[in-house]
A and B are shown apart, each in its own frame.
Chain A
């Protein structure tokens, strides 16, 4: 998932080179949500260790 998020960041930057609205806004929001999901996963996992 981390790889997908970095690819999504690249896609956001690519969209930014095309236009300042529309696709870049959607890609930004999608990437944001993916990061939040991954953060929640790693913050609530049940591993008994300190990150």
Chain B
């Protein structure tokens, strides 16, 4: 298997990994009844934006440009999650926002995910040979499933953000309720 073909296959798993993280955030929101804060939503947006690069790889084949897009989006996401980490470590008495998962808060996990995405994109840029490309003649069923799941997660986030924001312009700083219902 060529490097480009391997990269093409891996792009599917990158989208699935990001979708998994977004679904995990939804799980915590719905199961533990924790309302996401504005920075939580911003990190979700960063992850979705970073997933656009792998989606482009799936749709149009392996190109250097798409990894550049992922790196740019992941740097933005990492900045947002680092900001939230710094907010909570500034005061040692601060318990942090939300329930920790395996000892780390979601924003810390998000920072690790964004950092990993930057590293993985860099590795692909490093290993792809110049001029090498791969694109199947048509999208496989698996590719369509991956893109479909990503669309569903994005639509779910549209609904969630609208329910929380209501008809206000910005999200509440310290959310305690879904504004659409109050």
Residue ranges of A at the interface with B (Cβ–Cβ < 8 Å): 1-3, 5-7, 9-10, 12-13, 16-17, 20, 24, 28, 31-32, 35-36, 38-39, 41-43, 45, 47, 49-51
Chain B interface size band reads 35 or more
Starting from the known contacts A2-B171, A20-B56, 17 additional A-B residue pairs (CB-CB under 8 Å) come to A2-B38, A2-B41, A2-B164, A5-B45, A6-B154, A9-B48, A9-B52, A10-B155, A16-B52, A16-B55, A32-B72, A35-B42, A38-B38, A38-B170, A39-B39, A47-B174, A51-B38
Q: Count of A-B contacts with CB under 8 A?
A: 107
Q: Most B CB atoms within 10 A — which of A7, A36, A50?
A: A50
Dominant secondary structure at the A interface: helix
A and B contact pairs by CB, cutoff 8 A, 24 listed:
A2-B171, A6-B48, A6-B157, A6-B161, A9-B45, A9-B52, A10-B151, A10-B155, A13-B55, A13-B150, A13-B151, A16-B56, A17-B59, A20-B60, A28-B69, A32-B73, A39-B76, A42-B39, A42-B171, A47-B173, A47-B174, A49-B174, A50-B87, A51-B173
